[in-house]
């Protein structure tokens, strides 16, 4: 049955839940970018968790490219609104370009690489379409939401939230904390053990890696603003007047940040009280469904199963033949193991697959990974896949292709439950050795189970943190007391460079004075020496 909804804080509707507790139902908007299936899935899970808590949820699925709206099996209690912000970029061509340079070692000047970077560099154009969509803006404003969520990959909704007078909002990440968000939020990022998100490194780095980390942080700090957010600010100012605030100014005031990660497996780093870890929503064993016959019949007689998927932006049908041959040959060496691979065009490889390999356009990934016979996952290192194995307690073999994937692959390796195979090492012997270790190494399994048990017994669940913090913010609207003063400091003051310079000057001045006193003393000694030396020594 439908629950009463709080149309405004002043007219909050209260209800009594099944535990006899009185609570308020809030109207919540989620601005979800339709760029990758993993992000769509993450926002869906957040929306459903809030709907399960009785809140009135609307998801605005914001499309950037010329591709179809995602097929989403979503809770009927959630209102789903598709918003078209396509600026002419072909989504299918983008996938092909990205897969091409992801699977191959190509130059930055390669046409596919340049097209891909140009596409992401022009995403700000969608913001111009969104803010001119009067029907969309009217729907948001007239809905009188109490709170909104928006994704870290897209800054435009922050301006829309301000424009439509939504009282408060939460910044949402489908992965860990992004570098630019940490920068504007005032979160320290020591380059000595916090590498940039797109750098292939863990927290333990060599000297050369620390050099790369230092340079990466220094460059990205200034690059991200000119790439997107400044252009989107200009769009709002042009459309709604020069007095519209800078988006960075609005972003800095974000009351709360929710990350699709967990402090139990994310590498330890400086953080803030306003950053909350809610990773693993809808990934627990109880969330898994029984396998349908298509998969159950193949699992029944196998000693174990392995799942392989490389995500929606690097489909396996675009994988180099050398890679496919290496993996298929390795799979054939383990006839008692059933391998399931997500392959968008399975008919193309039907005649070359070993008998123990089944290819399908879609896999029930979470359900398969939670199965007791599962031995591991072979993946590109997408964050959802990493989360899946962490919560399922199974090892993983990763080959990061682009973006944050190489760094993601270091995470399970750091926890002793993962194998990382870089792109340049993909060949028959290396793949065979990695797959053999994946299905046979008991240490990997033991460490994976330990991580799973820690997550399962975490004192407060991610679902509870999501719901409670959302309700807390909807009630109080602002959490200014959680904003560090460091966000108001310039670069020199924040890093105490003025203090260091002053102290260095004082020390230098003292050394100069001491040196001059010493020189003066030495000259006096030389001048009076004839008087002091007895005549007998002359």
Could you tell me the pLDDT band of residue 101, with boundaries at 50, 70 and 90?
Answer: low
Q: What are phi and psi of 354, to 5 degrees?
A: -60, 160
What is the predicted pLDDT for the residue at 67? 67
What is the predicted pLDDT for the residue at 21? 65
- Contact present, 395 and 417 (Cβ < 8 Å): yes
Token pair 């990695």 is found at 434
Tokens of 364: 């029930």
What is the predicted pLDDT for the residue at 516? 85
Q: Is a pLDDT exceeding 90 seen at residue 517?
A: no
Token pair 């306003």 is found at 274
What is the predicted pLDDT for the residue at 424? 87
What is the predicted pLDDT for the residue at 39? 82
- Contact present, 385 and 396 (Cβ < 8 Å): yes
Measured between alpha carbons, how far is 152 from 172 in angstroms, rounded to an integer? 6
Q: Is a pLDDT exceeding 50 seen at residue 241?
A: yes
What is the predicted pLDDT for the residue at 8? 44
Strand partners, 15: 23
What's the DSSP call for residue 8? S
Rg (CA), the chain: 28
Express as a percent the part of the chain with pLDDT over 90.
Answer: 55
Q: CA 84, 88, 90: angle at the middle one, nearest 5?
A: 100
- Contact present, 336 and 440 (Cβ < 8 Å): no
Express as a percent the part of the chain with pLDDT over 70.
Answer: 86
Q: Is a pLDDT exceeding 80 seen at residue 528?
A: no
Q: Is a pLDDT exceeding 70 seen at residue 18?
A: no
DSSP code per residue over 167-181: S-EEEEESSS--HHH
Helices (H), 206-319: 207-224, 230-240, 247-252, 293-300
- Mean per-residue pLDDT over the chain, rounded: 86
Query: What pLDDT, in 10s, does the model give residues 128-170?
Result: 999 999 999 999 999 999 999 999 878 999 999 999 999 999 9
Measured between alpha carbons, how far is 10 from 463 in angstroms, rounded to an integer? 27
What is the predicted pLDDT for the residue at 20? 59
Q: Coil, helix or strand for 489?
A: coil
Could you tell me the pLDDT band of residue 282, with boundaries at 50, 70 and 90?
Answer: confident
What is the predicted pLDDT for the residue at 525? 58
Q: Is a pLDDT exceeding 60 seen at residue 231?
A: yes
Measured between alpha carbons, how far is 172 from 183 in angstroms, rounded to an integer? 16
Q: Enumerate helices (H) and strands (E) in the chain, giving the number of each.
A: 20, 15
Residue of 264, 262, 269 whose CA lies nearest to 194: 269
Q: Is a pLDDT exceeding 50 seen at residue 360?
A: yes
> Which H/E stretch holds residue 94?
helix 91-103
Measured between alpha carbons, how far is 411 from 402 in angstroms, rounded to an integer? 16
Residue of 497, 500, 496 whose CA lies nearest to 508: 500
Q: Is a pLDDT exceeding 80 seen at residue 66?
A: no
Tokens of 94: 């983008």
**Fold of the CATH domain 285-456:** Rossmann fold (3.40.50)
Q: Coil, helix or strand for 4?
A: coil
Mean pLDDT of 358-386: 92
Q: Is 377 left (phi over 0), alpha (psi -120 to 50) or beta?
A: beta
CATH 3.40.50 fits 14-87+123-262+460-488, yes or no: yes
Please state the pTM of the whole predicted model. Answer: 0.84
Tokens of 14: 């209260």
Q: What are phi and psi of 15, to 5 degrees?
A: -140, 165
Query: In terms of DSSP bridges, do strands 56-63 and 79-84 run parallel, antiparallel, or are they unpaired?
Result: parallel
Cα-Cα-Cα-Cα dihedral sign, residues 8, 10, 13, 18: positive
Q: What are phi and psi of 458, to 5 degrees?
A: -55, 135
Tokens of 90: 């072909």
Tokens of 526: 């030389």
Q: Is a pLDDT exceeding 60 seen at residue 84?
A: yes
Measured between alpha carbons, how far is 442 from 231 in angstroms, rounded to an integer? 52
Mean pLDDT of 409-427: 93
Q: What are phi and psi of 173, to 5 degrees?
A: -125, 135
Q: Is a pLDDT exceeding 90 seen at residue 6?
A: no
Measured between alpha carbons, how far is 201 from 372 in angstroms, rounded to an integer? 32
What is the predicted pLDDT for the residue at 523? 67
Q: Is a pLDDT exceeding 90 seen at residue 476?
A: yes
Mean pLDDT of 497-514: 93
- Contact present, 24 and 146 (Cβ < 8 Å): no
Could you tell me the pLDDT band of residue 12, with boundaries at 50, 70 and 90?
Answer: very low
Mean pLDDT of 172-197: 88
């Amino acid at each position: 049955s439908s629950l009463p909804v709080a149309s405004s804080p002043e007219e909050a509707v209260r209800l009594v839940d099944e535990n006899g507790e009185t609570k308020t139902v809030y109207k919540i908007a989620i601005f979800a970018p339709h760029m990758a299936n993993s992000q769509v899935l993450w926002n869906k899970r957040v929306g459903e968790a809030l709907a399960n808590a009785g809140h009135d949820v609307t998801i605005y699925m914001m499309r950037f490219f010329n591709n179809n709206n995602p097929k989403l099996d979503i809770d009927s209690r959630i209102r789903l609104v598709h918003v078209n912000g396509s600026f002419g970029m072909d989504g299918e061509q983008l996938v092909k370009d990205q897969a091409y340079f992801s699977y191959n070692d190509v130059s930055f000047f390669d046409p596919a690489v340049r097209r891909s970077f140009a596409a992401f560099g022009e995403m700000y154009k969608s913001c111009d379409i969104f803010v001119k969509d009067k029907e969309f803006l009217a729907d948001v404003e007239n809905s009188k939401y109490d709170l909104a969520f928006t994704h870290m990959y897209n800054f435009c909704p922050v301006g829309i939230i301000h424009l439509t007078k939504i009282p408060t909002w939460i910044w949402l990440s489908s992965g860990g904390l992004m570098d630019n968000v940490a920068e504007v939020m005032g979160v320290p990022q020591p380059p000595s053990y916090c590498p940039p998100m797109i750098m292939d490194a863990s927290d333990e780095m060599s000297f050369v890696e620390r050099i790369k980390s230092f340079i990466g942080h220094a460059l990205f700090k200034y690059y991200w603003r000119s790439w997107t957010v400044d252009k989107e600010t200009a769009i709002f100012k042009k459309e709604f007047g020069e007095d519209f605030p800078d988006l960075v100014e609005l972003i800095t005031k974000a009351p709360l940040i929710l990350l699709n990660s967990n402090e139990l497996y994310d590498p330890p780093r400086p953080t803030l009280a306003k950053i909350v870890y809610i990773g693993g929503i809808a990934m627990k064993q109880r969330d898994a469904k029984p396998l349908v016959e298509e998969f159950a019949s193949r699992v029944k007689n196998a000693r174990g199963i392995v799942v392989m998927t490389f995500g929606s932006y690097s489909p396996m049908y675009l994988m180099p033949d050398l890679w496919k041959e290496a993996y298929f040959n390795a799979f054939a060496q383990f006839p008692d193991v059933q391998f399931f691979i997500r392959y968008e065009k399975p008919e193309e490889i039907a005649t070359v697959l070993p008998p123990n390999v089944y290819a399908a356009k879609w896999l029930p990934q979470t359900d398969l990974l939670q199965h007791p016979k599962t031995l591991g996952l072979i993946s590109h290192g997408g964050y959802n896949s990493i989360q899946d194995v962490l919560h399922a307690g199974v090892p993983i073999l990763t080959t990061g292709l682009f973006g944050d994937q190489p760094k993601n692959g270091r995470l399970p390796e750091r926890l002793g439950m993962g194998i990382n195979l870089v792109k340049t090492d993909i060949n028959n012997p290396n793949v065979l050795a990695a797959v053999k270790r994946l299905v046979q190494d008991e240490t990997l399994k033991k460490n994976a189970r330990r991580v799973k048990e820690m997550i399962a017994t975490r004192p407060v669940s991610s679902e509870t943190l999501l719901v409670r913090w959302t309700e807390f913010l909807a009630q109080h609207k602002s959490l200014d007391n959680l904003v560090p003063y460091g966000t108001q400091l310039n670069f020199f003051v924040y890093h105490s460079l003025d203090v260091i310079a002053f102290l260095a000057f004082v020390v230098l001045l003292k050394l100069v004075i001491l040196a001059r006193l010493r020189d003066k003393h030495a000259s006096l000694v030389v001048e009076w020496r004839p008087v002091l030396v007895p005549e007998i020594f002359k």
